[in-house]
Amino acid sequence: MRIGLIIVDLDMTLVDTARRCYDVLVKLSNVNGVSFSEFMEMYYDERGIRSGLALIIGPNALDYWFWRRCWLRYINDGEYGELMPGALEALRILKGEGRLIVMATGREIESNLLTPELAVYGLLNLLDGYMALGDLGPNYNKGDLLKRILGIYNNGSVKGAVYVTDHPRDIEVCRGMGLLSIGVLNKWVKELNADKVIRNLMDLPKAVKELEEAS
């Protein structure tokens, strides 16, 4: 089975944005007592970062509009993250193979607000589209976002598509949908229960072909 649609997560998959996100959160809340390392432990906790932060900053951590303010501040500050090693090279190879590449992010802002940031990274000409959770609004989740993308770019089918992500919860969402997943390890997450696991994005084209051969 050919995999024609590659859906790729943004934060901590294509781009290391953790430090900037942490800095913004410190500015907009009383999370100063949490170190960056503790923040990252909560980020990858199976219960989700919001549950952990709720014990520290209160109900704001569970509020869609609070996170929207955080992401707007992140964008308006004009300071972004750094591309993960191999990100551009891997996407160029996949695009050269004739595959569609769509970026999906759980950020609570509209995707058009991401355009300047994606341009800085050099990602715009490598993406066939990009969507954010903020395009759907409150009361939606990552699964809803992936279904919307599949509806637009793959006739609503999970066949012939794969989601590339660094987060264990995303992988569980994929498993529940029957969508193939490729997990990307980094210094903060050492193990992922994905259909394929890679340590560097340069291994992504090979992992896609291996999934094709196995299906």
Burial label, 32 (beta-carbon count in 10 A; 0-12, 13-18, 19+)? exposed
> What pLDDT does residue 49 have?
76
User: What DSSP line would sit under 14-59, residue for residue?
Assistant: TEE-HHHHHHHHHHHSSGGGS-HHHHHHHHTSTT-HHHHHHHHHGG
Q: Which residue has the tokens 């715009």?
A: 124
pLDDT value at position 32? 66
215 residues of the chain, pLDDT tens digit each: 899 999 999 999 999 999 999 999 888 886 667 889 988 988 898 777 777 788 778 888 889 999 999 999 999 988 899 999 999 999 999 999 999 999 999 999 999 999 999 999 999 999 999 999 999 999 999 999 999 999 999 999 999 999 999 999 999 999 999 999 999 999 999 999 999 999 999 999 999 999 999 98
DSSP letter string, 114-169 = GHHHHHHHT-GGG-SEEEEGGGT-TT--HHHHHHHHHHHHSTT-STTEEEEES-HH
- Predicted TM-score (pTM) above 0.85: yes
Measure the CA–CA gap between 88 and 61, rounded to whole angstroms: 33
